[in-house]
Amino acid sequence: MKEKFDIIRSTCIPIEIDNNNTDNIIPARYLAFTTRDPKFYGDAFMHDLRYDANNEPVADFIMNKPEFSEAPRKGVHEIIIGGQNWGSGSSREHAAWAIAGYGVRVVISNSFADIHRNNLLNCFVLPVVVSRDFQLELFETVKANPQAEVLVDIPNQTVTNMTTGHSESFPINKYKKYCLMNAFDDIDFLLNNQQKIVEWENR
Amino acid sequence: MGKTLFDKIWDRHVVQNVEDGPTQLYIDRLYAHEVTSPQAFDTLRDKGIKAFRPQKVVAMPDHNTPSDQQERIDDPIGRKQVETLKANCEEFGIRHFAMGTHDNGIIHVVGPEKGLSLPGMTIVCGDSHTSTHGAVGAIAMGIGTSEVAQVLASQCILQSKPKTMRINIEGELQSGVVAKDVALYIMAQMTTSGATGYAVEYAGSTVRNMSMEGRLTLSNLSIEMGSRAGIIAPDETTFEYLKNREYAPKGDAWNAAVEAWKQLVSDDDAVFDKEVTFRAEDIAPRITYGTNPGAGIAIDGTIPTMDSLSEAEQVQLRGMLDYMQFEPGEKLEGHPVDYVFLGACTNGRIEDFRAFASVVKGRKKAENVVAWLVPGSWMVRDQIIAEGIDRVLDEAGFELRLPSCSSCLAMNPDKVPAGKLAISTSNRNFVGRQGPGARTILASPLTVAASAITGVITDPRKI
């Protein structure tokens, strides 16, 4: 799960659902487990849209179409293009575990819910915020050609549609960028700063 | 320039601002429940560390607890999760309110009513409805499990400071209109992402005149428009509510605390990044028709028609209505319902049960309806019985159940069957939220009560 970030060039899965809330990303019944197994959560990713009540794949759901059904690996489906307000609702980090466990490393949208965005970062999945126009262009490109690639360059903070050559820069603060590029956790930072915490308590 | 209430509390809790990065914020209270904490405790074990300030952490199971009996949990997976919380609390020295004891209940009901959530605090929990606690005048935010581990390990989180928004609600609410309707109305105006990136402060005469229970409902629903925090300046209503609560300060400490809490207001010249105002008189009893809480209408209104919408909105509406089995332009008042649910961290408090009872008193539950009436805590349940509300409910054909998150999220036996329509006081009408295939209409305790009597969606002003 904690792979250092640099440049990711990959085909994409277009999940064009607005307000794709975390109940959609992983239904509540998967929250009762105490495991941390990435595959367990990855298998549950978008479960109730991917599978019907008899656990049969829903043929017309985008992730089940032959051109998008391959599980992510290097260069393939490592990027999701998501709808507006991605990850709204419940704070369940299981949703980020599901995305990471499935093998996705980047989610691109024009807007993310605040808690889910932090959860993605803590799971070493990069949320990339682009303009609405660029988001729509990416959907169009990927739907027209499932082999189309998108390049996400973390050091330079740019995302590029390799088909059209269009590019946008995306925001990420220097601290978080350092974390992603060095596989460094917030908890390690906090443990290294314990003296400051004690000073604050005694101020 | 003056400071907002949010800024005042935030600034007092800054341990450090990381250069070109987040703020390291000190946390006064971490609440933990069984669902979002087990993997956080695992992280501490992996690192071989203890809880940094265990006395600032309070834990209780609520999501998996059954509401019909609490001797046992039949589902082995849910049972293991509840047992894991208890074991983790013992190992790490954390206060734990066990299932079935009179300390237990839904975290967001128990925290304020025990005086564990106090004005000026920073409060977090691995649960998006942690925004509830903002109603006492605290910064209260939902976090993920990695962040739960961070707080257990350091009593801090790393957060970027949100923008601030003030939502003013002015005027007197119509009879039959309560805090839940106000929240559902604001959500429909703001949309489910209208406050993303912001911390909201609720203000205005309508809010000032709300009871503490009403304010807790309002703050609870902040997350449904994207805001992680919904704060309300503490006032006499707050102090009256908190006084003599089990964990609230007592004696001289109480007096000193109240004096300090009176400073917790936004300065007159404070500037918010965004400010909006709504009028109480515009608000009718509300219901939702779609699969996000912002998709709502006045109870006597109609679902939007396609011609009023953009192409993208049409796609979304069609998807929602296909699931809900409703039509564009349809009026829902009078539509049959199968299930009613009173409870959840949104509306599981004493005032909600009083409101429900005021409608059903002397009437009978409709035979076609299954009703789950689930107090948010044992304290609420005990008060329901002390006030004789249980007898009113019983005479009207309703059964009072045991404290639990119950039918809010399908993690315990109270699941709405596929295809059935529930009218519910909970907070989310998402696809499958109350059970796979279940359909949910969100409404106030009054509207739910009126509908439980008639068996159809009913305007509480007309019964």
Domains and CATH numbers, chain A: 7-201 (3.20.19.10)
B136, B160, B143: which is closest to B21 by C-alpha?
Answer: B160
Nearest alpha-carbon partner for B103 in B305, B414, B403: B403
Going by C-alpha positions, the residue among B153, B149, B125 that lies closest to residue B228 is B125
What domains can you pick out in chain B, each with its CATH number?
A: 5-261 (3.30.499.10), 287-454 (3.30.499.10)
Q: What is the mean pLDDT of residues B290-294?
A: 97
Output the six-digit token pair for B268.
Answer: 């007159």
Q: What is the pLDDT of residue A11?
A: 98
Average pLDDT over residues B29-41: 98
Is the reported ipTM for this assembly greater than 0.95?
yes
State whether B226 and A190 contact (CB < 8 Å): no
Contact residues, B window 336-375, toward A, CB-based 8 Å cutoff = none
CB pairs under 8 A between A and B: 174
- Half-sphere exposure (Cβ direction) of B117: Cα atoms closer than 13 Å: 31
Residue A2 has a pLDDT of 77
Residue pair B247/B115 in contact (Cβ under 8 Å)? The answer is yes
**Per the structure block, which two tokens stand in for A45?**
């990713």
Q: Which residues of A touch B22 (CB under 8 A)?
A: 173, 175-176
Determine the pLDDT at residue A1.
52
Report residue B241: phi and psi, to 5°. -65, -40
pLDDT at B342 over 90: yes
Dist. CA B87–CA B80, nearest whole Å = 10
Q: Which residues pair with B441 in a beta bridge?
A: B423
Report chain A's terminal Cα–Cα distance, integer Å: 39
What residues of chain A score a pLDDT lower than 50? none
B63 touching A (Cβ < 8 Å): yes
Edge-first strand listing for the sheet containing B229-231: B229-231, B198-203, B163-170, B274-279
Task: Report residue B109 as tokens.
Answer: 């009901």
Listed by number, the residues of chain B in 282-301 with a beta carbon closer than 8 Å to a beta carbon of chain A are: 292
Cβ contact B400:B103 at 8 Å: no
CA B67, chain centre distance (Å)? 18
For A102-131, the DSSP string reads HT--EEEES-B-HHHHHHHHHTT-EEEE--
In sequence order, the β-bridge partners of residue B456 are B336
Question: Token pair of B111, please?
Answer: 């925290």
What average pLDDT does range B383-400 have in this prediction?
A: 98
CA dihedral sign, ordered A110, A115, A118, A122? negative
Inter-chain residue contact A122 with B20, CB threshold 8 Å: no
Between A28, A33, A176, which is nearest B21 by CB? A176
Q: Read off the pLDDT band of B379 (50, 70, 90).
A: very high
Distance from CA of B197 to the nearest CA of A (A): 6
* CA dist., res. B209 & res. B112, Å (int): 19
Please tell me if residue B146 touches chain A, with a CB cutoff of 8 Å: yes
Q: How do residues A111-130 score in pLDDT, each as one tens digit?
A: 999 999 999 999 999 999 99
Q: How confident is the model at residue B46 (pLDDT cuts 50, 70, 90)?
A: very high
Mean pLDDT (whole number) for B52-79 = 98
Task: Give B382's contacts (C-beta < 8 A, 6+ positions apart).
Answer: B102
Average pLDDT over residues B259-272: 98
Q: Are residues B430 and A48, on separate chains, in Cβ contact within 8 Å?
A: no
* Chain A neighbors of B316, CB-CB under 8 A: 18-19
CA distances from A61 to A56, A84, A106, B299, B321 (A): 12, 18, 20, 34, 18
Tokens at B272, concatenated: 């918010």
pLDDT at B294 over 90: yes
Nearest CA in chain B to A188: B150
Closest CA to A48 of A78, A66, A19, A26: A26
Within the 127-186 window of chain A, which residues sit less than 8 Å (CB to CB) from chain B?
173-176, 185-186
Cβ-based contacts of A92 with chain B (< 8 Å): 35-36, 144
pLDDT the model gives residue A163: 98
* Contact list, B75 vs chain A (CB under 8 Å): 32
- What is the model's pLDDT at position B1? 84
pLDDT in tens, B199-242: 999 999 999 999 999 999 999 999 999 999 999 999 999 999 99
pLDDT at B312: 84
**Strand, helix or coil at A201?**
helix
pTM: 0.98
Average confidence (pLDDT) over B63-79 = 97
- In chain B, the percentage of residues whose pLDDT exceeds 90 is 99
Chain A CB within 8 Å of residue B26 CB: yes
The dihedrals phi and psi of A138, each to the nearest 5 degrees, come to: -65, -40
Closest approach of A146 to chain B, Cα-based (Å): 22
In angstroms, the CA A18 to CA A69 distance is 21
Chain centroid offset of residue B61 CA: 16
Q: Which residues of chain B are within 8 Å of residue A84 when distances are taken between CB atoms? A: 193
Token readout for B315 is 């796609």
d(CA B186, CA B296): 10
- B181 is written with which tokens? 């309707």
CB contact under 8 A, A173 and B160: yes
Chain A contact for B163 (CB, 8 A cutoff): no
Strand ranges, E, within chain A:
7-15, 79-82, 106-109, 126-129, 149-153, 158-161, 167-169
